[in-house]
């Protein structure tokens, strides 16, 4: 069983969805052993508590460099034998310190059809660009911003009547359907 840690910065609906699917058995091959948040007030910390999953708030402000911050993270991961990192709304760029330690073992979900609309606000950027389709992408993490090798992506047609909130809802619906599935396939050795 692969031991994973989820990294998140905010709401945590993807975290909760993955945990729920593992509990009900529709996701398998891995466990979520730890949640790491970089924001003290992140709602995802509440969600972890409610699901009895160990969580840590690691405050980046306490470290004088990203290197030291990530070394602290690595220390916590190693202490718990974590093999794999799942990013789910983690709003921080991962540096070589973590990337070298977890080579091809960090994946992310991005709320757009990469390489379209990379960056912090994939949903807002697609909405404002008035495109007629967007999507969701799951990819390995590299040192760029949303540039790592794509594992799976799915298109979403945007209805002209949708406001931004509706688009957000539709994107999250797809995220919640595909992330646990892709993770399950990945850990069963069916990468593609
Ligand atoms: C998701 O849209 C994900 O694609 C992006 O951040 C958002 C996180 O949402 N990376 P949540 O915190 O899982 O609700």
Ligand 1 pocket residue status of 13, Cβ below 6 Å: yes
According to the model, what pLDDT value does residue 190 have? Answer: 57
| Between residues 189 and 65, the one the model is more confident about | 65
Task: Name the closest-CA residue to atom 6, ligand 1.
Answer: 89
CA-closest candidate to residue 14, choices 163, 187, 178, 149: 178
Ligand 1 pocket residue status of 12, Cβ below 6 Å: yes
**Taking each helix axis from N to C terminus, what angle separates 13-24 and 43-50, rounded to the nearest 10 degrees?**
20
Residue 110 annotated among the catalytic residues of the structure? yes
- Report the C-alpha gap between 139 and 121 in whole angstroms: 17
Ligand 1 pocket residue status of 107, Cβ below 6 Å: no
Both structure tokens of 77: 């991961």
Distance 108 CA to ligand 1 centre (A): 10
Name the active-site residue from 110, 139, 172, 176: 110
- Report the C-alpha gap between 55 and 86 in whole angstroms: 14
pLDDT digits (tens, 9 = 90+) for 91-150: 999 999 999 999 999 999 999 999 999 999 999 999 999 999 999 999 999 999 999 999
Ligand 1 pocket residue status of 9, Cβ below 6 Å: no
Whose tokens are 């999953």? That residue is 53
Distance 10 CA to ligand 1 centre (A): 8
CA-closest candidate to residue 170, choices 152, 160, 156: 156
pTM for this entry: 0.96
User: Collapsing DSSP states into helix, strand and coil, what is residue 101?
Assistant: helix
Distance 125 CA to ligand 1 centre (A): 15
| Between residues 139 and 190, the one the model is more confident about | 139
- Report the C-alpha gap between 182 and 48 in whole angstroms: 21
Atom of ligand 1 nearest to the CA of 172: 2
Ligand 1 pocket residue status of 10, Cβ below 6 Å: yes
Mean pLDDT estimate for the chain: 96
Please, which residues have CB within 8 angstroms of residue 104's CB and are 6 or more apart in sequence?
140
- Report the C-alpha gap between 91 and 96 in whole angstroms: 16
Atom of ligand 1 nearest to the CA of 13: 14
- Report the C-alpha gap between 98 and 143 in whole angstroms: 10
């Amino acid at each position: 069983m692969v031991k994973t840690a989820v990294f998140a910065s905010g709401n945590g609906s993807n975290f909760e969805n993955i945990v729920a699917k593992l509990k009900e058995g529709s996701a398998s091959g891995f466990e979520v052993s730890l949640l790491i948040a970089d924001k003290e007030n992140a709602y995802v910390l509440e969600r972890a508590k409610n699901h009895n999953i160990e969580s840590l708030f690691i405050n980046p402000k306490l470290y004088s460099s990203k290197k030291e911050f990530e070394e602290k993270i690595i220390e916590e991961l190693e202490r718990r034998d974590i093999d794999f990192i799942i990013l789910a709304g983690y709003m921080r760029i991962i540096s070589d310190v973590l990337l070298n330690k977890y080579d091809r073992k960090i994946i992310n979900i991005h709320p757009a059809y990469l390489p379209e609309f990379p960056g912090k606000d994939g949903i807002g950027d697609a909405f404002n660009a008035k495109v007629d389709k967007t999507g969701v992408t799951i990819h390995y993490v590299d040192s760029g911003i949303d540039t790592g090798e794509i594992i799976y992506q799915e298109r979403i047609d945007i209805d002209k009547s949708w406001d931004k909130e509706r688009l957000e809802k539709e994107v999250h619906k797809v995220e919640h359907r595909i992330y646990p599935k892709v993770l399950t396939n990945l850990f069963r050795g069916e990468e593609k």
